[in-house]
Amino acid sequence: MLDFDKLLEERILRLPESRVRDAMQYSLMAGGKRIRPALLYAVVEGYGADRSIADEYACALEMIHTYSLIHDDLPAMDNDDLRRGRPTCHKQFDEATAILAGDGLLTYAPMLTLQSKCSAETICKCTKILLDMAGAAGMVLGQCLDMKEETGVTDWEALKEVHRNKTGCLLSAPLMIGAVLCGHEEDAEKWHSVGITAGLAFQIQDDIFDVRLTPEEFGKSTSDTGNDKVTSVTLLGIENAEDMMNRLYDEAEEAVRSMEDFNQKPLLKLITDIRERRK
């Protein structure tokens, strides 16, 4: 998504020059799969709308995702040294700067959404979805549960709850926001379910990569294995985890196919690409 990367960098360079902005830019522009913006654009395309209506929300989603990675890598969290094939933010800069960079991205994201050209009512609804899915009832809750469960979870249902919030919520957000931006608010709950299902499949896939790939191949530290962290693979075994992942991706795809008055092809292609990724 080269055009999106240019858009994203233009937004970050609007901020005053500082060491914190450098750290924000370092992590934000380090590559990555841009899955959340891609999901948003695929839904907007599926509804037949101009993709530019999603630009500010696409940037905001990627900024919130990147903030979560910066904070997730900190010594107080997963204590990782490698992200997207290069040193994590706190290793490249320092821990305090990394915390501030995450804070900066998190607070700048909703500021961008307020610059959307949509109606004030639509902006309020979409920004509420974004913050609900990212906050203490969504992704932040998932991180909290993740830290708690590291002390000894042995239950698959409990681990699923971690993943539903930590990963699924921020994959649901672009699907739901896309529907509302395009005037299909009635579809938002269906999209929420699709995102949660796809997010669980995505996290299981990451757990499998954590076992099978080296940090260099994976592009980030495989800290779950090194820290003896409980994952879908340690609970289910790798073959059962793969079966579960495939069933969940199948379920998400079937749900997309069931959407009415929606061009499913762009989103189904994207889900296939995510499903077939190798890192």
Q: What are the structural domain ranges in the chain?
A: 2-275
Helix residue spans in 47-119 (DSSP H): 55-72, 89-92, 95-113
- Give the tokens for residue 118: 């949509």
The mean pLDDT of 221-228, rounded to a whole number, is: 55
Share of the chain above pLDDT 90, in %: 82
The mean pLDDT of 212-233, rounded to a whole number, is: 66
Q: Provide the CA 220 distance to its chain's centre, in angstroms.
A: 15
Closest CA to 129 of 167, 169, 161, 102: 169
Residues 6+ positions from 272 with CB-CB distance below 8 Å: none
Model confidence at 221: pLDDT above 80: no
Model confidence at 167: pLDDT above 80: yes
The mean pLDDT of 215-244, rounded to a whole number, is: 76
CATH of 2-275, one of 3.30.800.10, 3.40.50.970, 3.40.50.720, 1.10.600.10: 1.10.600.10
| Between residues 225 and 207, the one the model is more confident about | 207
For position 228, what pLDDT does the model report? Answer: 65
Model confidence at 214: pLDDT above 70: no
pLDDT grade for 216, boundaries at 50, 70 and 90: low
Could you report the per-residue pLDDT of 91-144, keeping only the tens digit for each? 999 999 999 999 999 999 999 999 999 999 999 999 999 999 999 999 999 999
Burial 116-140 (b: 16+ CB within 10 A, else e): bebeeebbebbbebbbbbbeeebbb
pLDDT grade for 149, boundaries at 50, 70 and 90: low
For position 215, what pLDDT does the model report? Answer: 67
Residues 6+ positions from 66 with CB-CB distance below 8 Å: 24, 27, 28, 32, 105
pLDDT grade for 240, boundaries at 50, 70 and 90: very high
pLDDT grade for 210, boundaries at 50, 70 and 90: confident
Model confidence at 194: pLDDT above 80: yes
The mean pLDDT of 14-31, rounded to a whole number, is: 97
| Between residues 223 and 18, the one the model is more confident about | 18
Closest CA to 229 of 164, 149, 142, 143: 149
Average pLDDT, the chain: 92
For position 250, what pLDDT does the model report? Answer: 98
The mean pLDDT of 70-81, rounded to a whole number, is: 93
For position 138, what pLDDT does the model report? Answer: 96
For position 85, what pLDDT does the model report? Answer: 84
Q: Which of 71-75, 131-135, 145-149 has the lowest mean pLDDT?
A: 145-149
Q: What value does the CA radius of gyration of the chain take, rounded to a whole number of Å?
A: 18
